[in-house]
Structure 1
């Protein structure tokens, strides 16, 4: 009763604060110091940040789009160690774990991630597109900056930017010896170590090496086996980044990383009550596990041609993710009737291997001119193989998947994809205050699927022109308004060879947006916002057919999406900042020939609105030590899990806190995540869309407390 009252009261506080104080917006990380000409110290102003979300360096407040950015210092202050951590601070973006260790579903302005398909948001790390869903769930260490650009950005980023762009920049190599190490210990015996080291090679060359190691006994209990299902046996990653100034006009940047992991997975639970608010521990008799690795390598070359910069980015990625687990998500005691009432228990597993090769060439003009342009070409080749098996479970062991006598389903496919693109972006300052921007990109995907069991080959292709136009009016250096028409394209593809929907169609989206970026009181208060309306053709959605152990992607013919976003940050006193965000997303299925009864409903995984509110206070304890106090409150509105809108998750409220003592060289902090232990599901599959007699659901982690220490040298 007390906690329910707190949630109700806290929600009212968030709404009142946003409405009355206009203190709404995602934390906008600020890094560049205020200029001396402004006559203000860093304690009296909010600093600004330079971002590259639009392929060239710009002040965050000059970008005519809704962008949330986090600097290196803000990443530490906010306790951002994973993709989930920063997504939780961004309006109208949600990220949910599901099924396997790397599997996530991201939702951006109502556009939803599809398993084993293209993402609705382009993810770029150090200029390299991360072209597979499994690359989004990252451990974030040694990061310089994170930028989240919302709204379709097909004109510049092409395929997968239908909802927006996440741009992550790792720390560049330094030319002096130095580094940092950190370690933490938390709930569930969670241990995390991170380190980085700058190794100067010469006056014109440097190497930075960084690593991360994570292990945990887990916190979510399997009520049947008594074991924790969300364990992390190990998750370690090594990364090396080298930079060389080959000549005065040529620079080289190389990056290599390797990640290896083994962790709990497939710990969905059967919800016999059928209610999305009935939060249960899993009770499967097969302990699920995910194991695999990711290798990345890229080479970036910049050529200064005098007024124009030519950039070449070549990249290769190899992803392996295998899983084993329960298929009936139950046990012989709880469900004696077995899998689908057939009298036996069942298990499942997949072996996924993906190889990606990409090459981009980009020309960027001098940004100081009234007419600026970007032109480029992109190529991506993908090989993706997927082996799926379902088997009779006799003893609860994962090894049964390799016994041919127990096999009830086997699907094996190989998918090949060649993607080509060319694009151009133009900016013209009509006057000192008025700027017209336009971009156009053409994307073409050629896809081929081979059924390795029958030898049958299927081929298809998808293509799209993606225009964008923005008109920006800058009243002063502190206030601008903009209006944008933008488009996005997410390629179609093949489902497994034997499923009911053999080919899912490409999704195309048109977006109309009007927004503003403002700074007030000599940069002590920042308020940004936008209103948008989008139309999606062939909206992609995902469901499971348990009878064939198949994951299926389908299309909804026509969906309307509209919403509002507000972001703000206020320096209310020296050392005290307030920040928050508000985002609404309303979706409307206007035509669905597959199931006309869903017309008028909201799309799957749609959250009606979300809000963030927080503060950070920093004060000196001595000449050498500072105290930093921070708290973040997140409210997630109702979530509609599937197209029938029958199953709805009630609102969720999450509170995080951080107390740190810091100096120039070290820090010690106590961190609490979801400190009130809010229970909810990150994925919920109703029986009508899973083939099971009851829904299956994936539980969110409980409260977590962590002690961490960091040393810089």
Structure 2
């Protein structure tokens, strides 16, 4: 179980204090290794970048076994990635995109300079990286597209003329994890270098599916990346990267974690005793589930051509990118062993982009970056909702027997942008930076929905068929829509820096950001009120009115202020950085429950995200180094009247109900889900060289989070308590680096961490139909429990 909240708060606050206090025990003349980042599109020391950035090196990622961005996010304060039933949510400082395939992410993802805006790409394997940088706050100038909450920049390890090769193998017996990785890099000719990176990972899972007798989620992943770099002349260099990956998953890390039987007297367990998880609401996660099978098959591919030309003292860079993916999923989306419905989803996406920029030399009174950007993309999405003739839902209405609903969506997008950022060094202490980006985008889209039934389809009443009734019960109606939208935006930036000394810098930043509008993929109904199930269903059969859907939604906007400091201490043996921020978000794109099985997108929310972020490093001795970070987040919805009510909210908080018929409640004054007040990490590295040619390398990582709500409906029943995760690695290696063998432990205190939770779909409907009373069940995604793996590496 997780530790108590109060105790965890004390531990979290102590993370940074511990590393700073240790400074008094260090030795003299020890300096930290410089961290170089490209957060401003040119190599810079992290201490010279006037914004809140966290950077994680590839060596640390490999050592800690961080296989994807979700694992990386646990090490970075105010940054989280959470998988939901049919999507992935990426959040920085509490801002994220809702669950809709029409959304691009509020956190822009960039891989080797190429924009990855789709949520599914966050699940791709991560391997052989130089570093990952997390830039917090709107990044509207140099990164630009939709990076309204922040940006994640991933940089692959590059080819080198020096020969390098390594093979790494990992085996973890408890969950059946087998991971094999190989890298070879070196000069092919005097001016041509290449690099080949290959990985294969298999994982059996850690949740017992008692329906299938298998472990879940079982993963099968592989990645192949080939790169070449050609130094064509003293002034011209070209780099080409080709990459393909596949990550297939069978099952999910989902458990039904309780129902309302202990609260209201009825729940899903009292109606259908076979379902898994009929414990009280405060029941522990038990590592078991019942489900009829979930699968997710994913393929990604990308190609990047990078051309660098030294034009006098200026550098001109052209980056051409092709990227795409396909996935096919089958979701048993009521997450129990009941036979109710299945949902199939498939999506295909491709994009190509071109960026051209010029970077001035450093050291001049005026330094600048300017460029243009173009992107063309195409999206196809299809889902298939099916109710078998033997479904338990037929107890609600016989009209649902054999019901099928399919939805088809296509979208094309073309985007142009021009950007510039200039820094004028007024004198040795003061610098002023001004920047701006102008973006124009055109989108065209279409959505088509159709329904059918295997059962006979007679008229229930004149003009109203049985299929009409089924569509009304599920609040889904056949329709067809098409549209086109054009929008443009200008996002400015003003930054002022003051260099107090060679070891201390202060900065203040004002910037804005936006996320483009678009088209709703998953709305179940037409946006035209005239389209719908005949009104006689409402008047004669007592059914709710036919819903009005959504097809188009508008852009989000953000205004941000940040004050920060970058300092070096103790003769460069320590660093301490701080940032204080406040960002106001307007017209947030949110998914609003339609009262049935779907959600409608609307610009229906405003919020304020503010807080403090601290990070630092300390080299306490020649052998011992500490890295610490902590983030405090104060998040509040200031205008959100259309949130989904949690179960019995009308009883507990009657003043918050805004639309009882559609089960809508106000979120004003509340925190967003996945927004813990405090997050932090403490990374300790100890190295010791023995006589005889052996090196001991020990890492101890503490990952802290205060409590947070894990449900998009902000249901207090689905609260994750504060916790501290402990990861560790103990390695013994040859002094020359030829071999290394290590034990890698993750979540050593075996914390049961709930990353996402919600009501089991249709459970309230089934309980109500069977008993006439209120009751339902809940499900949750849980992180991996304790694991200890053996890792070995050979490096030639």
TM-score (norm 2): 0.80
SS of equivalent residue, structure 2 residue 387: strand
Corresponding residue for residue 339 of structure 1:
none
Pair 1:207-2:199 in alignment = no
Pair 1:498-2:490 in alignment = no
Corresponding residue for residue 580 of structure 1:
628
Q: Decide whether aligned partners of structure 1 residues 553 and 604 sit closer, same or farther in structure 2, where only a CA change above 3 A counts.
A: farther
CA distance in 2, matches of 1:96, 1:277: 22
Alpha-carbon contact 1:23-1:568 (below 8 Å) kept: no
Q: Decide whether aligned partners of structure 1 residues 15 and 178 sit closer, same or farther in structure 2, where only a CA change above 3 A counts.
A: closer
Corresponding residue for residue 672 of structure 1:
745
Pair 1:616-2:694 in alignment = no
CA deviations over 1:229-253 (Å, ceiling 9, x no partner): 2101x21110011111122222111
Alpha-carbon contact 1:241-1:253 (below 8 Å) kept: yes
Alpha-carbon contact 2:9-2:722 (below 8 Å) kept: no
Alpha-carbon contact 2:186-2:193 (below 8 Å) kept: yes
Deviation at 1:10, TM superposition (A): 5.5
Deviation at 1:573, TM superposition (A): 2.1
Q: How does 1:650-665 map to 2 (within 5 A)?
A: 650-663=721-734, 664-665=737-738
Corresponding residue for residue 467 of structure 1:
492
Corresponding residue for residue 346 of structure 1:
341
What number of residue pairs does the alignment pair up?
A: 673
Q: How does 1:178-197 map to 2 (within 5 A)?
A: 178-186=164-172, 187-197=174-184
Alpha-carbon contact 1:562-1:585 (below 8 Å) kept: yes
Q: How does 1:49-448 map to 2 (within 5 A)?
A: 49-99=35-85, 103-115=87-99, 116=101, 117-186=103-172, 187-232=174-219, 234-265=220-251, 268-273=254-259, 275=281, 279=285, 281=287, 283-332=289-338, 345-393=340-388, 406-448=402-444
Deviation at 1:559, TM superposition (A): 0.8
Q: Decide whether aligned partners of structure 1 residues 318 and 276 sit closer, same or farther in structure 2, where only a CA change above 3 A counts.
A: farther
CA distance in 2, matches of 1:113, 1:22: 36
CA deviations over 1:461-504 (Å, ceiling 9, x no partner): 33321111110111112111111112221122211353433333
Alpha-carbon contact 2:440-2:489 (below 8 Å) kept: yes
CA distance in 2, matches of 1:127, 1:684: 34
Structure 1: which 5+ runs fail to align? 25-38, 333-343, 397-403
CA distance in 2, matches of 1:241, 1:253: 7
Deviation at 1:279, TM superposition (A): 3.0
CA deviations over 1:276-334 (Å, ceiling 9, x no partner): 875354634311010121110111111221122221111111200110021322123xx
CA distance in 1, matches of 2:760, 2:670: 18
* RMSD (Å) for aligned C-alpha atoms: 2.7
CA distance in 2, matches of 1:701, 1:371: 50
Alpha-carbon contact 1:225-1:283 (below 8 Å) kept: no
TM-score (norm 1): 0.89
Alpha-carbon contact 1:286-1:347 (below 8 Å) kept: no
Corresponding residue for residue 781 of structure 2:
698
CA deviations over 1:256-283 (Å, ceiling 9, x no partner): 1011222124554444436587535463
SS of equivalent residue, structure 1 residue 18: helix
CA distance in 1, matches of 2:328, 2:680: 36
CA distance in 1, matches of 2:555, 2:214: 42
CA deviations over 1:395-434 (Å, ceiling 9, x no partner): 99xxxxxxx9945221111111222211111111011111
Alpha-carbon contact 2:590-2:605 (below 8 Å) kept: no
Q: Decide whether aligned partners of structure 1 residues 288 and 687 sit closer, same or farther in structure 2, where only a CA change above 3 A counts.
A: closer
Corresponding residue for residue 462 of structure 2:
none
Corresponding residue for residue 271 of structure 2:
none
Q: Decide whether aligned partners of structure 1 residues 170 and 655 sit closer, same or farther in structure 2, where only a CA change above 3 A counts.
A: same
Deviation at 1:551, TM superposition (A): 5.5
Deviation at 1:132, TM superposition (A): 1.8
Corresponding residue for residue 445 of structure 2:
449
User: Which of these residues, 538, 552, 566, is aligned with residue 517 of structure 1?
Assistant: 566
Corresponding residue for residue 538 of structure 1:
587
CA distance in 2, matches of 1:278, 1:553: 34
Alpha-carbon contact 1:98-1:104 (below 8 Å) kept: yes
Pair 1:485-2:510 in alignment = yes
CA distance in 1, matches of 2:368, 2:282: 50
Q: Decide whether aligned partners of structure 1 residues 680 and 686 sit closer, same or farther in structure 2, where only a CA change above 3 A counts.
A: same
Pair 1:565-2:613 in alignment = yes
Q: Decide whether aligned partners of structure 1 residues 662 and 276 sit closer, same or farther in structure 2, where only a CA change above 3 A counts.
A: farther
